[in-house]
Structure 1
Amino acid sequence: MEKKLNVRNLTLISFGIALNVVGAFIAYSLRLPIYMDSIGTIFIACLLGPKYAVITGLCGSLVSGMTFDIYSIYFAPVQISTGYLAGLMYKKGFLKGIKTPLGVFIFTLPTSIISAMISAFLFGGITSSGSSYIVQVLSVIGVPDVLSVFITQIFTDYADKFVAVLLIGGCVNALPRNVKSQILLNR
C-alpha cells in the first residue's frame, strides 16, 4: 500500500519541525546539557513512523542551522538516525511502559556514537551545546579529549532522548482515541 503525504501528515510534520526548533532554541539559549532538538522527531516517529520522522529531524536541523545554531546542520545525521530508530522502537513496542528505558538506550546508542564522532572530529568536542562544558571539565581532569566527548554524548543523549520519549509518550497517550486511531490507521 502506497503511503501518501496528505495535508494532515504534512501538518503533523511541520508541527514536529517546530517542536524541534523551539526545543533546540530553548536548550541553546539556556546552555542546557541536553539538546531538546528531537522532541518533534520522536513525536512523528510515534505517530507516523520512521520515514516521516527522518524528514522531520532533517528539516528541523536545517531550520535551526539556518536561523540560530549553525552547528545543527552538521548534526543532521543524528536526527536522521534518531527518527529512523525511534520509529522502529515505537513500532516494536519498546517505547511504551516498562520497556521504555531499554528502547531509549537501543536507539540512543547509535545516535550517540554518530554525534560523538561529529563533535569530536569536526569540532574538537566544543559546540554550541551546554554539554560542551562537561567535555571541558572532563578534559581538564585528564580524560583524553575524544573519550570525554564520547562519555558526555552517551550520557547527555540518553537523558535528552529519555526526557523526550516521556514527554511524547504522555502527549500521544493524551490524544483522544478517535484521533489516535485515525492517524495510526493511515500510517
Structure 2
Amino acid sequence: MNQKTLIITLGALAVAINVIAGTVVGSLKIPFLFLDVIGTIFIAAVYGPFWGALVGILTNLVLGVTSGYSSIPFALVNATVGLTVGYTARKFGYTLRSALVSGFLLGIVCPAIGTVIAIGVFGGLTGGVQDIAVLWLKQAGSSLFASAFLPRLAENLIDKILSALLVYYVIQGIPQSLLKRPAKRGSKGAPHAAQ
C-alpha cells in the first residue's frame, strides 16, 4: 500500500472514530468529555496539519448528515484541532510534553472559536449540557460571550488534554513503520511525528 493510500485509509478510520466516540460520549451525556477529536489529533500528529484539518472537516460533515446540521458550522473548530496539533508535531514531534501543550492550547482556542460560532449561528445555546451553565451565567449578569465561553472552556480543557494524551499513548503502541510520514521534497526522509 502506498503512503497516500495509507493516509487516506487511516483518515477515513479517524473520521469514523471521531463520529463513533463523539456520538457515544454525547449520548451518555458525560460532562467535560467529548472525545470527538481523537482521530483528528492522531492524523495531525502523525501525518501533519493538512491531513488533520481535512479529517476534522470531514468529521463534522459526516456528523451533520448523521446527527443534524448543527455540527457542520463547528467544522472550523475541528479543522483548528488538526492544524494546531499538526504544526506543533511538525515542529516539536509528538512527545508527551507537546501532547500536553497541544491539549492545553486546544482547550483554550477551540472554545473561543466554538463560542463565536455558537453565538453567531445559535444565539449561544447549542443543546448541550453546558447550556444550563450558559443560561445561569447570563441570568447572573455575564455577557453573552462570557456566558457561552466559560462553560466551554472548562469542558474543553479537560477533553482536549485527555484526548491529546490518549493519542500520545496510542501512538507509542503502534509500529513505527506505520507512522512514518512522507518525506518532504528534497529531503532524504522525514522522521515521524512521534519522535
Give TM class, smaller chain: 0.7 to 0.9
After TM superposition, the runs of 4+ consecutive aligned structure 1 residues lying more than 4 A away are none
Segment of structure 1 superposing worse, 129-138 or 15-24: 129-138
Corresponding residue of 1:121: 120
Deviations 1:49-94 (A, max 9, x none): 1110111000000001110132110101111111111111122237
Amino acid at match of 2:12: S
Corresponding residue of 2:70: 71
Amino acid at match of 2:181: L
Segment of structure 1 superposing worse, 112-121 or 165-174: 112-121
Q: How is 1:122-141 mapped onto 2 (pairs within 5 angstroms)?
A: 122-141=121-140
* Change in 2 beyond 3 A, CA 1:134/1:172: same
TM-score by length of 2: 0.82
Q: Distance in 2 between matches of 1:28 and 1:81?
A: 21
TM-score by length of 1: 0.85
* Change in 2 beyond 3 A, CA 1:147/1:170: same
Amino acid at match of 1:86: V
Q: Distance in 2 between matches of 1:128 and 1:173?
A: 36
Aligned residue pairs total: 182
Corresponding residue of 2:23: 25
Corresponding residue of 1:161: 160
Q: Is the 8 A contact 2:102 2:161 kept in 1?
A: no
Segment of structure 1 superposing worse, 70-79 or 97-106: 97-106
* Change in 2 beyond 3 A, CA 1:158/1:98: same
* Change in 2 beyond 3 A, CA 1:120/1:167: same
Q: Cα RMSD between the aligned structures?
A: 2.2
Amino acid at match of 1:184: R
C-alpha displacement at 1:99, in angstroms? Answer: 4.5
Corresponding residue of 1:13: 11
What is the identity percentage for the equivalent residue pairs of Structure 1 and Structure 2?
26
C-alpha displacement at 1:134, in angstroms? Answer: 2.6
Corresponding residue of 2:181: 184
Unaligned runs of 5+ in 1: none
Q: Distance in 2 between matches of 1:168 and 1:159?
A: 14
